[in-house]
Chains A and B, each alone.
Chain A
Amino acid sequence: MTEPQSLGLDVEILRRLSRDRLVRVLEDAPGSKDLIIDGDLMKMFDRIAGTSLLRNHGVGKMYRLERLPPPVDSGQRVYLVKPSLISLKYIAEHVHADRVNHPHLQVHVVVVPRLVSWISSLLEEEGLYGALTLHEFTPEFIPLDDDLLTLEMTSFYRDAFLEGDFSGCVSVARAINTLQDLYGRIPNVLAHGRAATAVVNALDLLTQNNSPKKSNQIPEIGYLFIFDRDADYVTPMLTQLTYEGALDEHFGIQAGVVELPGSVVGQEMPRKIHLNSQDTIFDNIRNMHFGGVSRYLVTRAREVKAKRDQTQTMTTEQMKEFVANELRAVKTLQASLDLHLQTCEAITSATQGDLEARLLAEHGLVTGAGGAASLATDLFENLLARMLPMPNNLRLLCLYSLAQDGLSRKEYKRLASQVVAAHGHRHLCTLHNLRQLGLLTINEGSTGTTEGSGSGSTQLQERLAQMTSLLPRRGSGWKAAARRLGLVGGEDDHIDLHSPTHMSYVFNGAYTPAVAKIVSDALASRSIAPLTLTEALKLLPGTTVTRSPSPGSPVPPRVALVVLLGGLTFAEIAALRLLAVISSTRIILASTSTITGSVLLSSVAHL
């Protein structure tokens, strides 16, 4: 899949900006210093800067932040931490411990991405107000690929959606604002959800501060979409079927890097692999339906073999030329093919036997197929009885609840007690969290059977309750929203999974990720928010904010920025990449981090 090549919009510049900003923070503590980094931030800093950059700016030793303070070998110490209580408590302990023997030690604390208000009061309580210096480092979007950006704010989902702390939105707004500084103010905006609204609010504040000449710049990005993760919970709950999605599900992709266990790549140590479009083989298969990947790889492998076989009959002259020009490329190709064949094999053997039943249940639930509900509960109870990993089990439970617009109380009790038996009583708290999030809903009143034809009147009551409640209870209106947005089915034709033309190919044609569908609808119409779309969006949690250019403005460029707050799945990425081709739009995807449903659920589970 090739995407329309760009209008000179280079996202790589963002990395340079982050790097420059990091350098300035480091030079705030001039001279040599030791660096102590929050483990959660390492991946992010790895993508921004190499060690040599740090060394060039006085960094001596580097440590991971732990409870015990590292040895003092330098007059200065710089901590890079997230605004989390534990990190700050550790720092406080370090400072108290070190000041006895090293009174000259100067301590700098860099909070990433935002120095929030409670930090200084915490330090004051520790008696450290003034004893250390606080800084802030807000990274720009980190480019993982030409069309994929991340902020690596891995706790955003929990903070915002479970704890109600949307303070990360300001950092997101700053990153978007930088893009606007570079490429002009984006004329069309569609934002939906609470976090998205908070981002737009903060963005407005930031643009007020921009110099007026910026607003006259001709925009290079025509559309900005911002969504909350809760606009579509069904997508992350479904098992991903694209190659890159499957990689993420099985091995975990963090900030564009997958770590394959040694057993898969046939060596002792695990191997880290950067996944991006520079690997041409990977670029070709990443968005493919998994079912077609190995066939493709085998075909390509045969080609390469044929090429190698040719060398047998080559004259010395030809051989020389081959070695000089092609050998390297062929070798790289071969290595890449081998690697992906190995991972394919590992994934296939790991899913053997279980995947089929799972997909049958998942897709049945989403499309409302008869008998799917009992199939799903049976499968779920078996997964629990086998004590398979919890996040993946809970995904099915949440999908079941979402697709049925909630469980009856009786059913909830039955399934919840089995969850607790399999995974421990402490997960009463996890279940509570899932209910707070609307991932799991109990339909009070409806004594409902498993075939959740949930009577109309109770649904209406739910809806009313939803509207009157100040903190909306979510997760009980999915069916209506999916129908309205046309997420299920959609095309009557058979969906071609291997040369796809419809975005639902990412889920075997059963379901189109809502975000992709909304973007598609908006890009296809004359205004960014046609009435049918805004009406449909009302069924999703949260409110919609739209901005359109004043009449008579030039036609916006076909470049769209899609931001997902709370995590983006590779299934959505694949669907939107297909949309980019279909609608000949350059689509740049940005998120707080890439996720799978299991990662999402683990982040809100009780530890």
Chain B
Amino acid sequence: MNRAENEAYWGSTDTAPSALDSFFDEDSEVSWRGSSGAASWRAKSDRGEGKPEVSGASPSSSGSSNTSYSIVDNITVTSTQDWAFVEVGGSGTNSGRSVVGVGKAIGEKLDSWKPPSVSIKWNSSQGQGSSCAQCVAKDNEIIKLKKRLENSFSRYNLTLPPEDTVKRILLGQPYSLECYRSHEDKIALLDTALATLDGSAILASVIHLKNTVKKTLFVKEMQTRPHAVQVYVSYLKKRHNYPEAIDFLGLLGKTEEAAILSYELALTGKAPEGKLKNFKKLLETNFSHPGLAFEASMVEDNIKLLSRQLTIDEVDQKDQSNPMLAKYPRAANVAGKPLLTTLFYCCMYHWEAGESHPGSPLALRKEHDLTSRQLLWTVLRGRARVHHWPLPQELDAWKGNKGLLGALGSLTSALGGSGRVGTSTVKAKLPIDQLVRYLATSGAPSNILAVYIGLVDPIGTRLTLALNHKCHQAVIDVYVNQKDKGALEKYMKEIPEGSPEYLKAENALKTARWKL
């Protein structure tokens, strides 16, 4: 608490910046400069002299703690006027402390060689800020407070009311927790902090407790204070001390949180092979609790996926024979990507691979649970990426036997008009209008679009969709279906003459059955 110390010493002072400049200008009058290397190197004119100090710790000169006193005295004297000035500006701070000016800045220059023991003592004076016009009074007060702090080291002594200390933490004033030594006092401090909800105060008192009592006692007290646990665990996480956080949550019986956290830790690993190993270990330890069956199954799924991805990456990196890999160079390794991205990848590069190939989309499908929606969207997107828009029948062929899935199978049957079985479920599940829009934006040829548009019900929507996407084939199909000769004749104007669609429409006008 640098700032705190300074403020404690400087009594929340505030001075105009110009004062500091003049302070430095009067180099020759600053008697204390020679007494400390650390101080001297800060003065601009003295840069050349002596070796630069690596840290601000007290250098060659002797008795640093003594010098610090003398310097403090020195400065007190030289800047009395500043203090008087400060009084006016500084006392009116209402929204807490305002920023501290020069006095502070000088103090900062000094504290670098103030020995730690001294800083603690300074800390104890806890920024009075109100009565520094009389330096004697201030000195007396310092002595008094110093005594008070010394007393506080003995266990029979006064402790500050926890309310006061917590308030100081809240308002950003200097504070010390040294005096809370009895267990009751520590707990009272913690509970007072908890009542304010302030994270800073809670954390300070939790860490004080943690550092001063044995682990079992600490855990016992935390057990009944969930908010303190939450603050402490997120602090440990912030400090990347995951192992301790996991251990601590485990001791408190929070198995789910501990498990999730251990998974989070395993995820931070860089190398996928290491991750795999860690995941496997987790299943035996943190995720073994029966209440975490679902989460455990997800981790297991992750293991399977990651192992496959590693194999795919290994094979594809070396593979010179796969034309797709040459045509569409891999953007990145697939390891660590989501399941659907992996399926997308497999559909791009290994569409026709047999199930024995690690990159086979079929094999992936077999190993992981995929809904029909997930399959359909991902397959179509993956193939569209390589400018291939499979027809529903092709998807069937790809699958090898009776229908890619329920969904696609019924797509085919709907298309073939061989039965209505399943069509309604498909339409309930798949927003075909979105599918069509996707196919259109991905550049699917018109005849493919027409097939998918043909699946849309009711026929009115189908027509709108066909017209929107200027898919002549689909429009013709609708009019033929509706037996609306007039409409088709009218639409002929939209179709480029001589195109296959035009010929088809002409043919339809001649041969199809029309409403009379």
**B104 to chain A: closest residue by CB:** A28
For residue A169, which residues in chain B have a CB less than 8 angstroms away from its CB? Answer: 197-198
Known: A138-B96, A385-B376. A202 touches B196 (CB 8 A): yes
Stretch among A174-182, A297-305, A455-463, A570-578 lining the B interface = A174-182
Nearest A residue to B167, CB-CB: A205
Query: Which residues from B are CB-within-8-Å of A198?
Result: 196-198
Set A84, A164, A202, A206: member contacting B231, Cβ < 8 A = A164
B107 to chain A, nearest CB (A): 9
Separation of A153 and B283 alpha carbons in the complex (Å): 39
Residues of chain A within 8 A (CB-CB) of B226 are 470-471
Is A167 a contact partner of B337 (Cβ separation < 8 A)? no
Q: Which of A108-161 contact B (CB under 8 A)?
A: 114-118, 120-122, 129-138, 159
Q: Are A421 and B340 in touch, CB under 8 angstroms?
A: yes
**Does A432 belong to the interface (CB within 8 Å)?**
yes
Stretch at the interface among A37-45, A277-285, A412-420, A509-517: A412-420
CA–CA, A579 to B437, complex, Å? 41
Q: Once bound together, how far apart are the Cα atoms of A21 and B99, in whole Å?
A: 7
- Nearest Cβ distance between residue B227 and chain A, in whole angstroms? 6
Interchain CB contact under 8 A, B199 and A159: yes
Q: Which among B95, B98, B260, B294 has the highest number of chain A CB atoms within 10 Å?
A: B95
**Chain A window 401-441, contacts with chain B (Cβ cutoff 8 Å), 1 for yes, 0 for no:** 00000000000010011101111111011001000000000
Question: Which of A242-250, A325-333, A376-384, A474-482 forms part of the interface with chain B?
Answer: A376-384
Contact partners of A432 in chain B: CB under 8 A: 256-257, 260
Q: Is the beta-carbon distance between A99 and B96 smaller than 8 angstroms?
A: no
Tell yes or no: A345 within 8 A of B by CB: no
* B99 and A202 contacting across the interface, CB-CB below 8 Å: no
Question: Across the interface, do A166 and B199 meet the contact criterion of CB distance under 8 Å?
Answer: yes
Residues on A with beta carbons closer than 8 Å to the beta carbon of B3 = 115, 133-136
Q: Is the CB of B199 within 8 A of A167?
A: yes
Q: Could you say which of B152-160, B298-306, B451-459 contacts chain A?
A: B298-306
Residue of B nearest to A121 (CB): B207
* Residues of chain B contacted by A492 (CB below 8 angstroms): none
Q: Which of B70-78, B425-433, B495-503, B508-516 contacts A (4 or more CB under 8 A)?
A: B425-433
A177 in complex: contacting residue of B94, B368, B431, B438, CB < 8 Å:
B94
Are B260 and A428 in contact, CB atoms less than 8 angstroms apart?
A: yes
- Residues in A whose Cβ lies below 8 Å from that of B112: 130-131
Q: Which residues of B contact A31 (CB under 8 A)?
A: 21
- Contact A27 B294, CB 8 Å, known A134-B2, A424-B338, A471-B227: no
User: Is the Cβ of B198 less than 8 Å from the Cβ of A206?
Assistant: no
Whether the pair B196, A422 counts as a contact (CB closer than 8 A) is no
Please report the C-alpha to C-alpha distance between residue A20 and residue B95 in the assembled complex, in whole angstroms.
14
A135 touches B52 (CB 8 A): no
A421 and B368 within 8 A (CB): yes
- Neighbouring A residues of B370 by C-beta, 8 Å: 421
Enumerate chain B residues within 8 angstroms of A100, measured Cβ to Cβ: 54
Smallest CB-CB separation from A29: which chain B residue? B105
Interface residues of B in 484-501 (CB under 8 A from A): none
* Residues of B contacting A133 in the complex (Cβ-Cβ under 8 angstroms): 2-3, 105, 108
Cβ-defined contact, B429 with A378, below 8 A: yes
Q: Do A164 and B199 have beta carbons less than 8 Å apart?
A: yes
In the complex, whether A353 has a CB less than 8 A from a CB of chain B is: yes
Task: Judge if A85 is at the interface, Cβ distance under 8 Å.
Answer: yes
Which residues of B in the span 1-17 have a Cβ within 8 Å of any Cβ on A?
Answer: 1-4, 14, 17
B74 to chain A, nearest CB (A): 20
Point out the residue from B263, B376, B377 that lies within 8 Å of A428, measured CB to CB.
Answer: B263
Interface residues of A in 177-227 (CB under 8 A from B): 177-178, 181, 194-195, 197-198, 201-202, 205-206, 209-211, 214
Chain A residues with Cβ below 8 Å from B437 are: 353
Task: Report if B230 contacts A (CB, 8 A).
Answer: yes
* Pair B94/A165 contact, Cβ less than 8 Å: no
Interface membership of B295, Cβ < 8 A: yes
Q: Separation in Å of the B434 CB from the closest CB of chain A?
A: 6
A contacts with B: majority SS? helix
Among B1, B197, B337, contact of A197 (Cβ-Cβ < 8 Å)? B197
Q: Does B144 contact A (CB under 8 A)?
A: no
Most chain A C-beta atoms within 10 Å of own C-beta, residue among B1, B4, B92, B111: B1
The segment from B135-143, B232-240, B350-358, B472-480 found at the interface with A is B232-240
Chain B: number of interface residues, binned into ranges = 35 or more
> Which B-chain residue is minimally distant from A159 (CB atoms)?
B199
Bound Cα distance from A130 to B294, whole angstroms? 50
Residue A526 lies at the interface, judged by CB distance under 8 Å to chain B: no
Q: Is B371 in the interface zone, CB < 8 Å from A?
A: yes
B-chain residues with CB within 8 Å of residue A202 when the two chains form the complex:
170, 196, 198
A1 contacts the other chain (CB 8 A): no
**Contact present for B41 and A385 (CB under 8 Å):** no
Task: Tell me which residues across on chain A come within 8 A of B294, comparing CB atoms.
Answer: 413, 416
Least CB distance from A87 to B in Å reads 11
Given contacts A129-B2, A385-B377, contact A181 B231 (CB under 8 A): no
| A387, B198: Cβ atoms closer than 8 Å | no
| Chain A: minimal CB distance from B419 (Å) | 24
What B residues does A162 contact at CB under 8 A?
234
Identify the closest chain B residue to A353 (Cβ): B437
A494: which B residues are within 8 A, CB to CB? none
CA gap between A169 and B199 in the complex, in Å: 9
Give the distance to chain A from B91, nearest Cβ to Cβ, in Å: 9
**Residues of A contacting B369 in the complex (Cβ-Cβ under 8 angstroms):** 417
Distance A100 CA – B301 CA, assembled complex (angstroms): 50
| B101 in contact with A27 (CB, 8 Å) | yes
Whether, in the assembled complex, B394 has its beta carbon less than 8 Å from a beta carbon of chain A, the answer is no
Is there an interface contact between A103 and B52, defined as CB atoms closer than 8 Å?
Answer: yes
With a CB–CB cut-off of 8 A, which chain A residues contact B256? 432
The answer to whether B56 and A131 touch across the interface, beta carbons within 8 angstroms, is yes
* Contact between chains at B371 and A209 (CB < 8 Å): no
CB distance from A146 to the nearest CB of B (A): 23
- B216 CB to nearest chain A CB (Å): 21
Complex Cα distance, B167 from A170, in Å, reads 11
Q: In the complex, A426 Cα to B266 Cα: how many Å?
A: 10
Minimum C-beta distance from A523 to chain B (A): 27
Answer whether residue B201 sits at the interface, using C-beta atoms and an 8 A cutoff: yes
**Once the chains are docked, how many angstroms separate the CA of A259 from the CA of B74?**
56
Hey, what's the 0/1 contact readout for B30-45 against A, CB within 8 Å counting as 1? 0000000000011000
Q: Mark B92-126, 1 if CB is under 8 A from A, else 0.
A: 10111011111011001001101010010000000
- Note all chain B residues with C-beta closer than 8 A to A538: none
User: For residue A181, which residues in chain B have a CB less than 8 angstroms away from its CB?
Assistant: 94-95
Would B263 and A104 count as touching, CB distance under 8 A?
Answer: no
Q: Which residues of B contact A114 (CB under 8 A)?
A: 172, 200
Tell me the chain A residues, 546-591 only, with Cβ under 8 Å from chain B: none
Contact of A116 with B199 in the complex, beta carbons under 8 Å: yes
Residue of B96, B170, B438 ringed by the most chain A CB atoms within 10 A: B96
Q: Does B339 contact A (CB under 8 A)?
A: yes
Report chain B residues within 8 Å CB of A422: 338-340, 374
CB-CB nearest in chain A for B2:
A134
On chain B, the residues within 8 Å of A389 by CB distance are none
Set B95, B371, B378: member contacting A174, Cβ < 8 A: B95
Interface presence of B133 (CB below 8 A): no
Interface string of B306-346 (1 = CB under 8 A from A): 00000000000000000000000000000011111100000
Knowing A209-B94, A426-B267, A471-B230 touch, does A28 contact B340 (C-beta < 8 A)? no
A–B complex contacts, Cβ < 8 Å, 5 sampled: A27-B17, A30-B21, A134-B1, A177-B95, A206-B95
Further pairs besides A129-B116, A382-B430, A384-B374: 13, Cβ < 8 Å: A21-B98, A24-B14, A130-B56, A134-B3, A165-B199, A181-B94, A385-B374, A387-B377, A422-B338, A423-B338, A428-B295, A432-B257, A470-B227
A residues touching B (Cβ–Cβ < 8 Å)?
Answer: 21, 24-25, 27-31, 84-85, 99-100, 103-104, 106, 114-118, 120-122, 129-138, 159, 162-167, 169-170, 174, 177-178, 181, 194-195, 197-198, 201-202, 205-206, 209-211, 214, 353-354, 357, 378, 381-382, 384-387, 413, 416-418, 420-426, 428-429, 432, 470-471, 606
Q: Which 6 pairs show the lowest CB-CB distances between chains A and B?
A: A165-B199, A103-B52, A164-B230, A167-B199, A163-B234, A198-B197
